[in-house]
Chain A
Amino acid sequence: MNVLILGGAGMLGPYVARELAPNHNLRITDITPPEEDLPGEFLLLDASDLDGVVDAAAGMDAIVNLSVLRRHRRLAWDVSTRGCYNMMQAAVTHGISRVINTGPHYTVAGRHITEILDFGIGPDIPPQPGTNLYAITKAMGLEICRVFTEHHDISVQSYLFYNFKDPAAIQPGEHYAPYVISWENAAEVFTLGLDIDLDALPSRNEVFYVFADMPHDKFSNEKAKRILGFKPRQDVENLWK
């Protein structure tokens, strides 16, 4: 499969590229050059550049969006909201039916609304990001994706992460978010998302929490396991054991 990865030179991108490279042809883009050699073709591209994103998607079978810019009050909107619009326009233009989007857990579950208070939080709740910049910009991107799936034959899987860890660097007793995954384990879910029969998804707009099995039951990764076949590794358990 020919796969366009937007924002592929960031923190998660290299792990995803190495995971996908053996079985897919990759075109990786980012606003800055990668700090390490990445497999496939690389293009410098700003995700907020509509024409550039549309051009980059030519000949692709799938788009994976890893673009992230959390704190800058202009760039966060450019990347996370307009970037999604541009990605979906590119998918429409080139007839690409498989899109994988990414974001933080509070794209749907606002940090101050549920995380402190609740347990068993799943991804299929009405999005309630609140006004946190990172959360709301990603949530608006998610909504744009949803609207496009209502009008076009495009399936969007949104993988929501929280905290990534390098298992080898975990220190006993260190602080951790209630939702953790190793970089390598996170990358594996993208293979599942590219392989899955789109007709096996419940709808054209599906959201998944992707993280390791954790004992406290704050959030639920059950949907990712059940639908995508995601297999959490047991490589971050030193955080609580």
Chain B
Amino acid sequence: MRILITSASHGRSAALADHLAHHHEVRLTERVHVETEHEFVLSDLGHDRSTNLLTRGIDAIIHVAEPLPEEDVSSQLDAATRCTYNLLMAAAEEGAQKVILLSTLDLMAAYPPGYRVKETWRPLPRTQPPTLTKHMAEQVIREFAREGSLDVEVLRLGEASNETVAVAVDQALSQLDSLAPQHRSKEEGARDPWSITHVGERPQ
């Protein structure tokens, strides 16, 4: 499988690339140059043809959606919304099958301690990153799933090791070929093109 991982400058992306490279072809991308032993493509995730080229031939995208170091809030918001939109628009046009967004369980931290918070509950972002930006990235990606143009899985990461995250990503990738035609009912094996999984412990 050919996998594109965004936010290459972030440690989570590097760890995932090392893990996935054992069994997949991995391409990393970032909005600034990053030194890595994996294939790397510099991309500002703009709306021009270069983002299409970035995603061409890619089967699955792991959108890590982390800010650059020292990035101001407005730019973080721009990256979470506009850049995510451009990435997914290109991915849909180029025929990628799946997008995995790494979000945060901080979105559910405002629920009272001890509550068994489910993925179906409403996220409670604050007005600053990281919850606002991750929430907005989720909101943008959800519309692609709603229209059926991409199969999307959101992994909301809590307190979890790189190994735990890698297992969750492996699981999400293993479902790549099992998305049944959407005109089938769930009883006939169809899955929703939008799913959320909580990974690790919820901050409280």
Contact = CB atoms under 8 A, between A and B. Distances in A.
Interface in B130-155: 132, 135-136, 139-140, 143-144, 146-147, 149
Interface stretch (A30-38, A55-63, A147-155, A188-196): A147-155
Interface string B13-51: 000000000000000000000000000000000110000
A112 B148 CA distance: 12
B52 interface: no
Contacts of B144: 131
A140 B147 contact: no
Given A74-B82, A147-B125, A131 B46 contact: no
Contact of A86 (B74, B143, B146): B74
A57 B107 CA distance: 30
Contacts of B135: 143, 147
A97 to B, nearest CB: 15
A224 to B, nearest CB: 25
Nearest to A135: B143
Interface stretch (A77-85, A117-125, A163-171, A228-236): A77-85
B47 A131 contact: no
Interface in B59-103: 74, 77-78, 81-82, 85-86, 88-89
Contact of B81 (A48, A81, A131): A81
Contacts of B132: 144, 147
Contact of A77 (B78, B124, B126): B78
Contacts of A110: 143, 146
Contacts of A152: 127
A13 interface: no
Interface of A: prevailing SS: helix
Given A128-B146, A136-B143, A88 B127 contact: yes
A198 interface: no
Interface of B: prevailing SS: helix
Contacts of A143: 135-136, 139
A144 B136 contact: yes
A24 interface: no
Contacts, number: 69
Contacts of A86: 74
Contacts of B146: 110, 113, 128, 130
Nearest to B131: A147
A131 B87 CA distance: 12
A130 B46 CA distance: 20
Interface centre among A139, A140, A148 (most CB of B within 10 A): A140
A8 interface: no
Interface in B156-177: none
A129 interface: yes
A129 B143 contact: yes
Contacts of B46: 73-74
Contacts of A137: 81
Query: What 3 A-B pairs are tightest by C-beta distance, nearest first?
Result: A73-B47, A77-B82, A131-B143
6 contacts: A48-B74, A73-B82, A74-B47, A81-B136, A131-B144, A136-B85
